Amino acid sequence: MSTLSLLPLESRTRRRRWVPATILILLVAFALIGPWVFASPFAQDLSRYLEPPSLTEPLGRDEYGRSVVSRLAHATRLSLVLASLSVATALLLGTTLGTMAAWRGGWLDSVLRGISESFVAMPALLIVLLFAALAADGSLWALYAGLALAQWVEYFRVVRARAALILGSPAVEAAELLHLGRLHVVRRHLLPELRPLLLTLASLGMVTAILAMSTLGFIKVGLQPPRAELGLMITEAFPHYDAAPWLALAPVVVLFALTVSLLGLRRKEDSR
C-alpha cells in the first residue's frame, strides 16, 4: 500500500479544492438520502427488465427490473461507510501503536516494528480478500476488519517515525523539564504536527478501501448478490454493455467520482 509514493508531484492548489469537495459532498448526500428516497434496492419488477432511464427511474432498471438509482445509492453508502469506518479504525490503531512504540521504545518498539515490517510487504488486497472470503454470507464485519487490518501499518510507520523525532526534540525536552508530561507533548506537539499528514493518508486510505471493496465485488469474492455494491453492480451489468450501457456506466461513474474527489482533496504541501 505504498500510496504515499503515488502522490502526483503536481497537485491542486487550495483554491481548486472546492471542486472535489463539492463532488464528494454531493456523493455523500446521495448516499445518505438516496436509500430513504428511492425504492428498495432488491424490489424486482421483472416485466421491466433493462428499462432505459426515464423521469421516474433516472438511471433505468437492471436485468431483474430493480431500480438502478436505488441500488447505486445503497452501494455508495456501503462503500463510504465501510471505507470511513475501516480507515478510522486503522488510523486510531496505527496512531496509538505508533505513538506507544516511539514513546516506550525497547522491546515494545522492536516487536511492533517487526510486525509492521511483515505487514508492509503484504498486499492489502490479499489481506482484504482473505477476510472478504469470510463475508460470503453477507456479513460486513469481516470485510471491515480486513480493510482496517490491511491499512493500520501505514499510519503506524508514519506516526512512529515522526513521534520518535518529536519526542526527542528540544521543545519536548523543555516540556519535560517543566513536568508537563508526555501526554501533553503528544497532544500539543505531536498531534498538531501529524494532523495534515494523517488527513492525507486517510483520504488515500479511503480510496484504497473503496477500490479494494469494488475489486473484490467485481471478482465476486466476499459480498454476494443480490447485495448492492459498486463492483458487484459493474460485474452484473457488464454482460449488458451493448443492450443497456447505462447500467454499467452508472456505478463506474460513481466509483470514479468517489476516488477522484478523494484524491483531489489532498493538500499540496502534503504531497511530498
Partner 1 sequence: MRIPARLAAPLLTAALLAATGCTATAEERSEALRIVGPFEVHSLDPATSQAFFTRLEVAETLVGADINGELVPGLATEWTHESHTTWTFELPHDAEFHDGTPVTGDAVAASLAKVADVEASPLSAIGIDAITGDEHSVRFELTEPFLTLPATLTHYSTMVLAPSSWDEDGHVTDVIGSGPYQVDHVEFPGSIEVSAYDGWRGEAPAIERLTFQSVSRPESRALMAASDQADIVFGLEPAGRQRVEAAPNVEMVSALQPRTLLLKVNGDHPVLGDPRVRLALSKALDRPGMATAVLREDDLAATQLIPPSLSAWHDEALEPLTQDLDGARDLLAEAGWEQQSDGSWQRDGETLRLSLVTYPDRAELPALATAIQAAFAELGIGLDVNVTNSSEIPAGHADGTLELGLLARHFALVSDPLVTVADTFAPEGSDWGAMNWHDDEVGAAITALLRGAEGAEGEEHRRTVVEAVHEELPLIPVAWYRMNAAVNSRVADFVMDPLEHTWRLSGASWQQ
Partner 2 sequence: MTGIRRTGEVLLKRSGQALGVALAVSILCFVVVQRLPGDVSYRIAAGRYGYDLVDNAAAAAVAAELGLDRPAWQQFGSWLAALAQGDLGRSLVTSRPVGEELAFYLLGTLQLTGAALLVAILIGGSVGVLAARHPGSLVDHLATTWVASVRALPPFLLGLLLVLVFSVQLGWLPAVGHGNSTSLVLPAMTLGLGLSGLVARVTRETVINVWSSSYVQFAHTRGIRERLVLLRHVLRNSAVVLVPYLGAQAILLIEGVIVVESLFAWQGLGHALVHAVFWRDIPMLQATALALALLVVSLNTVVDLIVLRLDPRPRRAGALA
Spell out, one character per residue from 204 to 233, where the chain touches partner 2: x when CB under 8 A holds, - when not.
---x---x--xx--xx-x---------x--
User: Residue 207 binds which one of partner 1, partner 2, none, with CB within 5 to 8 A depending on kind?
Assistant: partner 2
Question: At how many degrees (to 10) do helices 68-104 and 191-218 cross?
Answer: 140
- Give least dist CB 122 to partner 2, A: 5
Distance CA 158, CA 41 (A): 41
Contact region for partner 1 (CB under 8 A) — 40-48, 93-101, 104-112, 127-135?
40-48
Picking from 79, 86, 89, the residue whose alpha carbon sits closest to that of residue 35 is: 79
Q: Tell which positions 117-136 bind partner 1, by CB under 8 A.
A: 136
- Start-to-end CA distance of the chain, whole Å, equals 17
Question: C-alpha distances in angstroms, 149 versus 4, 136, 224, 225?
Answer: 18, 18, 22, 25
Other CB atoms closer than 10 Å to residue 200's CB: what's the count? 21
By the criterion CB under 8 A, which residues form the site for partner 1? Answer: 42-44, 46-47, 49, 63-65, 136-138, 224-226, 238-243
By the criterion CB under 8 A, which residues form the site for partner 2? Answer: 1-2, 5-6, 8-10, 114-115, 117-127, 129-131, 133-134, 136-137, 142, 207, 211, 214-215, 218-219, 221, 231, 234, 238, 241, 252, 255-256, 259-260, 263
